[in-house]
A and B are shown apart, each in its own frame.
Chain A
Amino acid sequence: MNYLRRFTQQIKDYPSAVVGLIIIGLLVAASIIVPLRIPYSEAVRLWRGGDDIWADYPRNAWPKWRNWFVEGKLPETIRFSTAEGDGNPVIEQLSEGTKEVKYNFEFDFPFDEFPPEINIFANAIYNEKQPFVEMVWITPDGREIRAGEFSPSASSSFRFSQDSRLQRRLERETGIEGVSANQGLFDDPEQEGLQVLKGTYSLEANTLLFEDDSEVDLTFVSYGLVHGLAGTDHRRRDLSVALLWGTPIAMTFGLLAAVGTTITTMSIAAIGVWYGGWLDGLIQRLTEINAILPLLPILIMVGTFYSRSIWLMLGVVILLSIFGISIKNYRAIFLQVRELPYIEAAKSYGASDLRIIFRYLIPRILPLIIPALIALIPTYVFLEASLAVLGLGDPVLPTWGKVIQDAFAQGALFNGFYYWILEPAGLLMIAGIGFALVGFALDRIFNPRLREL
């Protein structure tokens, strides 16, 4: 307790370390909360589920917060689903067996850009006679445009911009040759060229049902150019899933790899120092060989030939770091510790070699290695990202590195989808700097010699 208080006293002298600790705290909190709120299977479903999961999301949309910083508001996604109770249905029995259900989707459109797509998805239930849907588009200035009609099947969609009759109507309406529906429907005809008419739009959809137990569920989506807190990727997936779930994965990988390599190298250094002789020499030579082994290429081979599982990679990383170069540092410290009187005392009461190594030598230097261990974590977090960028990321789990890889493969930088790279890269950087700040400060606290320099 006393120790802890002294520690907090000392760490206060390093504002950078306090910042680092806050960052680490947030990351750890996120790593605990995210898996609880979005269970693993749910995360995999959201990230790998298929088009059904993310059909209602826009493609390559910026995050919503872009609108706070940039002039010219980009449209958000507007979605109505009758299955979820939207659209104020008005039901009218026209005749025996024929029913009309009128839906009205009314929404505000205060944005400066046109939506990239407008779709309506319909799921119809019927036995023989297919239902019929006709739609009317009402603009803020009161114009009514026949938007199209179709006969929905069990799972069908109507894409406004692919309807050629609607396009011809809109060409007449706006006077612009080759205008696409997602632009024409929102165009202000009073203005020259394409200009968004802001205001309240509504889409009236009348469904005609020709059987008593026939039903149609409609989902209207006007896709946005911004979506959610993190935006979406080229497959319409919400990036926030990957960014959130990437946190616990990065933390776990970094922590396990750092702890695993530190413990193994430290034990080996202690064994070498304690037994000395040829064993010490052998360990030293192996360390020198290991330093020149190409770690990343070997990881690449394992990834290509066997499995890309992140846990296998973790195992290989630890295996290849057993004779890591840090053995040299630990060895230097152990050589000093070995001569201390309490080791002599342990020897005199007849403690076994292994007991001395694991109960007396190693615990003694544990506080010294904590800064190194913390500073090591980002190295492995970045290693995981590096593998993912090379296309060797875990095949199932969403990670930060895999988001960067997707973005890179789709030319995000070239095409101007900066958010796609900046979000995962920013998280990586925050994590890296957080751990590095704390590691540096701890190093100076635990090794007072450095403080003078």
Chain B
Amino acid sequence: MSQEAIQSSAAQQEMLQVDVDFERVEDEERQARKQAAIRLVRYSAVKIVALFFTVFIGVYITVLVANMGGYVDEIRRGMIRETVTLAATADQEFLKLPSEQKQAILAERIAMQERRYGLDQPFILRSFGYLADAMTLRLGFSEGMTSDSGSRQVRNIIMERLPSTLVLFGTANLLVFFVALFFGLTLSRRYGSFGDKLVLALAPTSSAPGWFYGLFLILVFAGLLNLLPFGGMVSAPPPDNKIEYALSVLKHMILPVTAVLISSVFLTIYNWRTFFLIYSSEDYVQMAKAKGLTDRMIERRYVLRPTLPNIVTSFALLLITLWSGAIILETVFNWPGIGQLYFRAIGVYDTPVILANTVVYAYLLAITVFLLDFVYALVDPRVRLGGGEQR
């Protein structure tokens, strides 16, 4: 009896001990989670600073390249003239003056402003002013181009077109990502099958950019078959109904999105499938198979998880090339985004617009890379658990 009692009390004590342990474990887990969150924030902060620095350098190079011919000075002068004249014409008193006197006053004010903005200073000093302007997106006035609403502020011109670019390339990029992920996984399972060989054979097609396939797609689907529009974003006149509008945009998106897909998806599938194959030959995958886990589970936990960081990095590099490709793809498809704006600005030599576009591009690339870095931090345990600070 007594022995039993002792035993049971010992067991109770043990259980109590376990209870305490549970609490401690939970506590530790909470601590760990907190630390992981802190690491995540720190990682992201470092990345943001680094990327900001990158944009800084990119924009500074842009300013340097552009001003070697004095182009930025021109933009600044134009901006000053514009604002001074605008301020002066708002003044009733000023308008009553004779025109010679008006000109004299204007010239004096412009000269004063130019001194104020430091246009008489050496270029090195000026360049930093320009850099600050560009970084804060004070982009000045265009030489002749206007936004659809009639504004000549470069910022308005660009902001008006940015959404259409984001819609087109957001869709295309997401599609590329998920299609490549799906087929990469499927083909890694059916290694050596016909589909696998087909993708391998088609991988070289990725040496051509998207606009190039766009030409063929337009030729076949718009020119010969007359199924889809030659270009543009909505049919003219744009439908009033919101649903019809969306459908029309979708219809116009089919060809450009397909062009992006053709130009990048085969090589991406091939690369990712190779990643998956490398990771599926690891010992712990064999172990999981031996334990009798389902294929789906093995894929999700033991193959996809460790591969994701690689995939995110490779996708980031792909996105950078896709963004550059946007300029010509939009031109070919007459898509009213910032890429096509580039083309038009080149055509009329509108330097402020070209410059501003480059700045916006630098920002776009940096934001894309930052978002992917953030995802990277989420999927890569080395970031969350520490110990792998340098990749």
Contacts and interface: CB of A to CB of B under 8 A. Distances in A.
B219 A301 contact: no
Interface string A355-397: 0000000000000000000010011001001100111100000
Contacts of B212: 382, 385, 425, 428-429
B61 interface: yes
B48 interface: no
Interface in A307-350: 325
A292 B58 contact: yes
A404 interface: yes
Interface in B47-93: 50-51, 53-55, 57-58, 61-62, 65-66, 68-69, 71
The range of chain A's interface size is: 35 or more
A390 B331 contact: yes
A300 B354 contact: yes
A294 B207 contact: no
Interface stretch (A100-108, A147-155, A161-169, A415-423): A415-423
A304 interface: yes
B223 A418 contact: yes
The range of chain B's interface size is: 35 or more
Given A305-B65, A392-B346, A421-B219, A440 B203 contact: yes
A386 B215 CA distance: 12
B179 interface: no
B142 to A, nearest CB: 14
Contacts, number: 141
Contacts of B342: 297, 300, 390
B75 to A, nearest CB: 12
A78 interface: no
B110 interface: no
B207 A432 contact: yes
B343 A413 contact: no
B354 A413 contact: no
A442 to B, nearest CB: 12
A300 B351 CA distance: 11
Contacts of B147: none
Contact of B207 (A291, A302, A433): A433
A294 B230 contact: no
B62 A422 contact: no
Contacts of A16: 201
B148 to A, nearest CB: 22
A391 B343 contact: yes
Contact of B357 (A291, A297, A385, A437): A297
Nearest to A301: B65
Nearest to A438: B204
Contacts of A379: 207
A288 interface: yes
A306 interface: yes
B215 A421 contact: yes
Given A301-B62, A390-B327, A293 B362 contact: yes
A294 B68 contact: no
A453 B369 contact: no
Given A390-B327, A413-B223, A292 B211 contact: no
Which 9 A-B pairs rank lowest in CB-CB distance, beginning with the nearest?
A436-B204, A378-B207, A296-B324, A297-B358, A436-B207, A294-B361, A432-B207, A289-B54, A292-B365
7 contacts: A298-B61, A301-B62, A304-B346, A305-B68, A428-B212, A436-B206, A453-B191
